[in-house]
Structure 1
Amino acid sequence: MKFKKWSLLLAVLLLASTFLAACGGSDEGSKQGGESTEKDVEQVLNFINGDTIPSMDSVLATDEYGFQFLGSTMEGLYRLDENGEPTPGIATDFETSEDGLTWTFTLRQDAKWSNGDPVTAKDFVFAWQRAVNPDTGSEYGPYMMSGVIKNATAVSNGEVPVEELGVSAPDDYTLVVELENPTPYFESLTTFGTFLPQNQAFVEAQGDKYATSTDTLLFNGPFTLEKWESTSNSWELVKNESYWDASTVKLDKITFEVVKEVQTAVDLYEKGEVDRTGLSSDLVDLYSTDDDYAVTPETSVFYLKLNQTRNEALANVNVRKAISRAFDKQALVDEILNNGSIVANGLVPKDFVTVPATGEDFRDASGDLVTYDVAAAQEFWAKGLEELGVDSVELEFLGGDTDTSKIMNEWLANQLEQNLPGLTVTLKQVPFEQRLDLDTNMDYDIQFAGWGPDYLDPYTFLNLWLTDGGNNKMGYSNKEYDKLVQDTATTLATDNDARYENFLAAEKLLFEDAAIAPVYQSAMAQLISPKVQGVFVNKFGATYEYKWAYVGSEE
């Protein structure tokens, strides 16, 4: 997302809508068993969300919440099924040219927008062009399409008109996509929110009001978003009777309420007012033997972003190396999180992809690249201070404002001050949407951030740190790193063994430069009502898939 996992800078959102992508195809209701779909069971679920939805414009969304509700209310060419594999959405089939550069999609003719208009290939052309049009100001359009869709980079740089983007509609139900390079994961990429269609006439009629409320949105997916405005603290997903596959959708409604306090959320669960909630570390021990307790591993990784442009100290590689080694990650996952999360000593997560040549998990092949080591941290710190000609440093730490976020922010700040003599850390804890803005403007020193994958390939993690990349936003630049990563999408695009050799080398270089400080790979510890059935947890993209969800019998 982030920006994904989902893509994105993401908060430590361990409440109800706990952050991005978990292991693919997991059905969070399956542990309760049963396939009951009794007609007399009310098909309504009640969930909570960790914050408001920053944007419902698919070309402007950059966060998990936006992509989650876009995924529930919209449909692109494909969507992910229960096994985490692309299944037909608006597209029914596709063909690729022999060189892998041209993909021709056949679209279904029974898909409609919620206002009755047909969904056509022109809707995809309009949305994709809008996503890379520099006048739109999209972050994710250029990020997701540059180097993938033909001319996307040139269009986003204002060098050629949007009409030259490699996407066209020979007729209403045929979409032709031309790629810059062969992209083996392109089918899975089309499931991501940035590649959703938009109804041109509707978008243009709404103008600046587009996607700011239920009344200024159209939907073509399993649900519609009701009772929502951009500042709403509650809203509903309601079954979309105009959806082409409405007969598959069993739920009539899902309600959502913003709750940031863990105990408040748990109290609501205990009262039966909500059907799923996240647990903080102190509550895990209390509920770990409860029948409703569930832990799901995720492929999201959290880390500290170290902004090299705002504070002279962080431009020093030894200072960054010191920070990345100065906090006890095992204690953090055991004592602060206590939810099944594991220590991260690299960027690409465990149990995400395997190295083609050996079949070894990528994380195992790459190894531990940066570990907790106070002695080494203090040695790097002393070198850094000497090079800077100072004996003390002040840094601002930007983090989220949820209960769990605040506890973690304070713990990390304390660890850094305790283990790095002369360091003073000032906390700045803000709501999720404000933190996204501060990141975009590079207005921070250290930031607690995270990333969930957008597709099934290491490139979704390693391209984050390309020079001037849309999600870099911390001033990191290394030409050797750029070449290693960019070659995997160009000259090595059809040689998967060579691609992975580059990925492994690039990840090592990233931590030799101490560009970021990895913290942990997340898991979700939750209470889930036994009546919640058929909710799939995706390996990448939006966390939850509700299309096949239903309310089962609790007996």
Structure 2
Amino acid sequence: MKKKGSLSLLALMLVFSVVLAACGNNNENASGSSSPSASAGASGSAAPSGKPINLYVENEIKNLSQWAASDDISFTVLNNVSEGLYRLDADNNPQPALAQDVAISDDKLTYTFTLRDGIQWSNGTPITAADFKYAWLGEMNPTTATNGYSFILTDYIVGGAEYAAGTGTADQVAIEAKDDKTLVVTLKQPTPFFLRLTSLVPYFPLNEAFVTSQGDQYGLAADKLIYAGPYVLESFDIAAGAVLKKNPTYWDNSNVKTDTINLKVIKEQSTALNAYKAGQIDRVTLASSDVDANKSNPEFGTGIKFRTTYLQFNTKAEGLSNVNIRKALSLAFDSNILAATILNNGSSGASGLIPDLMSGDGTKTFRELNGKVIEANIEKAKELWAQGVQELGSAPKLTLLIADTSEVKDVATFLQSEFKNNLGIDVAIDTKTSKARNELMDNNNYQMAVTAWGADYDDAMTYMDLWTNHTPYRGNYESSEYDALIANAKKETDDAKRADMLLQAEKQLVDTDAVVAPIYFGGYSFLQKSNVTGLIYHPYGNPVEFKSAVAQ
């Protein structure tokens, strides 16, 4: 998830091993065979395991108050001790959870959710439609929510933005608890991914009476929470970790496969790897330096995340205002070499802005539909560079702005070398703190920069509408044709037509106008004990599902 115009959930979310160092997606065991998926878990074919599963996180579990939680660790815990109307399955598709089903109006604007019979909080209180309305309004209200994720509701629900801004009232927000089992929500525009949004933590229900009774202590200890998910917290220590126990009141309790999940706080990667080797934890994320030594291990695996690192060109900057110069730079490096030899962590060379496996038209992924919109072509890059230099009158002097992280530094050095070898040009590297880099970009003081974006939700729009704001950070890109494609896609109710507009938009952004040059799609490598199966990792949103996990 991403905060609009700010940091994202994926960026804010602390990197940690339970979620594979970022919202990774791997639903297989280490040997590569399919592990139990959400659907397999629902079959009830395996009895709950007496063996606990031991995992770790790389930082403290800061706060489990739903309105305050803003990091990946907290979101992982909350996703497993509560749930929303829908929950993602092993294929990242939304499946009914606390909701039994939904009716969607013909104009795709009104969603009428029917809750399951008999669902209840861990204290025996019924879960009702009012619990969702209370939680959602609280998330929109800046006086109650401090996590910065109101946008994930207010961007979509009628009246939400006005309520959050103080120009509207709660009564004007289109969320109606029609009765205890019926929740009606009206959206501003067709949103094909809305059911996926309801699986996210900010969309989870909250019990008003309990939250109010706990005051400012809510979410700070195991007994300061009540639970609606597969697990409850037996214990919770900010610095040490947490113990999750199977929730006896959960509606699908019979299909929760493991009785106990232990989460330990281990901050050093080397310490975690040693703990894994000693059998103290069941899964560990590998540093790039440890990948080669473990690739032949049958417990080795890789996964992906919906995150694209790319070159952002400033279309108003000296030299880079020329489209042929931008196109030349885009084609002058081979990101597959970068991913395989330098990153070496499960990342892959980018073939477009939208990552592999993101949804497309409902039948094929976006990448399957649009294919490769960018691919290294050194000879073409040389031709375009020469043409651009001729148009400018001289070769531009270029500087690449980057943040001071080790991975980005490696990427920048690789690009610098590729530009030298393939175009014969010297590109300077300007390294700044992440904050300083962002400020320079915001203030239009850069030519090109390495930056990244991680998905808020499983739809190309989470990327494509960024470049309609015409800001310096997005390269000062202005195109009425591009803006129209995005605006029309947001209103289109036909999925195929909508997808076609987004496909055209990606080609225009990356190929025709060369506003960005995608570099690589995020990935990770890990080791997982061969007796542990059914852990489900998602490339966006709530990072990991424990519900179907089992240790044989």
Give the TM-score range, shorter chain. Answer: 0.7 to 0.9
Measure, in 2, the Cα distance between the counterparts of 1:53 and 1:381.
55
Measure, in 1, the Cα distance between the counterparts of 2:205 and 2:75.
14
Is residue 2:28 matched to residue 1:22? Answer: no
On the 8 A contact 2:403/2:409 being kept in 1, the answer is: no
Give the alignment partner of residue 248 of structure 2, picking from 230, 234, 241: 241
In structure 2, runs of 5+ residues without a counterpart are 37-43, 420-424
- Match for residue 496 of structure 1? 495
Measure, in 1, the Cα distance between the counterparts of 2:273 and 2:32.
21
- Match for residue 40 of structure 2? none
- Match for residue 90 of structure 1? 98
Cα distance change, pair 11–98 in 1 and its aligned pair in 2 (3 A): closer
- Match for residue 85 of structure 2? 77
On the 8 A contact 2:30/2:298 being kept in 1, the answer is: no
C-alpha root-mean-square deviation of aligned residues, in Å? 4.4
Offset at 1:249? Answer: 1.9
Is residue 2:543 matched to residue 1:543? Answer: yes
Cα distance change, pair 36–465 in 1 and its aligned pair in 2 (3 A): same
Give the alignment partner of residue 458 of structure 1, picking from 442, 457, 460: 460
On the 8 A contact 1:49/1:259 being kept in 2, the answer is: yes
Offset at 1:208? Answer: 4.9
Is residue 2:142 matched to residue 1:142? Answer: no
Write the letter of the residue equivalent to 1:462. M
Cα distance change, pair 55–390 in 1 and its aligned pair in 2 (3 A): farther
Measure, in 2, the Cα distance between the counterparts of 1:415 and 1:354.
32
- Match for residue 425 of structure 1? 430
Measure, in 2, the Cα distance between the counterparts of 1:300 and 1:53.
24
The residue correspondences of 1:32-181 to structure 2 (distance < 5 A) are: 42-53=50-61, 56-59=64-67, 61=69, 63-135=71-143, 136=145, 139-146=148-155, 148-181=156-189
On the 8 A contact 1:29/1:533 being kept in 2, the answer is: no
Measure, in 2, the Cα distance between the counterparts of 1:374 and 1:11.
37
Offset at 1:370? Answer: 4.1
Cα distance change, pair 192–315 in 1 and its aligned pair in 2 (3 A): farther
Cα distance change, pair 36–288 in 1 and its aligned pair in 2 (3 A): farther
Cα distance change, pair 412–249 in 1 and its aligned pair in 2 (3 A): same
Offset at 1:102? Answer: 2.4
- Aligned-residue sequence identity (percent) comes to 30
- Match for residue 363 of structure 1? 367
Residues 198-256 of structure 1: CA distance to partner in whole angstroms, max 9, x if unpaired? 22234345555544554544331112345446x63533333233323333223222222
- Match for residue 307 of structure 2? 301
On the 8 A contact 1:7/1:454 being kept in 2, the answer is: no
- Match for residue 292 of structure 1? 299
Measure, in 1, the Cα distance between the counterparts of 2:376 and 2:141.
44
Measure, in 2, the Cα distance between the counterparts of 1:225 and 1:33.
26
- Match for residue 422 of structure 2? none
Residues 375-431 of structure 1: CA distance to partner in whole angstroms, max 9, x if unpaired? 849949997xx89999575735154xxxxxx2x2231232355546352322537xx
Measure, in 2, the Cα distance between the counterparts of 1:11 and 1:371.
31
Measure, in 2, the Cα distance between the counterparts of 1:317 and 1:53.
48
Cα distance change, pair 8–534 in 1 and its aligned pair in 2 (3 A): closer
Offset at 1:81? Answer: 3.0
On the 8 A contact 1:306/1:516 being kept in 2, the answer is: yes
Which deviates more from structure 2 when the two are superposed, residues 366-375 or residues 177-186? 366-375
Measure, in 2, the Cα distance between the counterparts of 1:168 and 1:62.
27
TM-score normalised to the size of structure 2? Answer: 0.79
Offset at 1:132? Answer: 2.5
Residues 332-357 of structure 1: CA distance to partner in whole angstroms, max 9, x if unpaired? 2112333443211312123333457x
On the 8 A contact 1:123/1:200 being kept in 2, the answer is: yes
Residues 30-61 of structure 1: CA distance to partner in whole angstroms, max 9, x if unpaired? 8387999678x643111122444565444555
Write the letter of the residue equivalent to 1:283. D
Measure, in 2, the Cα distance between the counterparts of 1:286 and 1:209.
46
Is residue 2:505 matched to residue 1:506? Answer: yes
TM-score normalised to the size of structure 1? Answer: 0.78
SS at match of 1:285: helix
Measure, in 1, the Cα distance between the counterparts of 2:347 and 2:8.
17
Cα distance change, pair 300–84 in 1 and its aligned pair in 2 (3 A): closer
SS at match of 1:140: coil
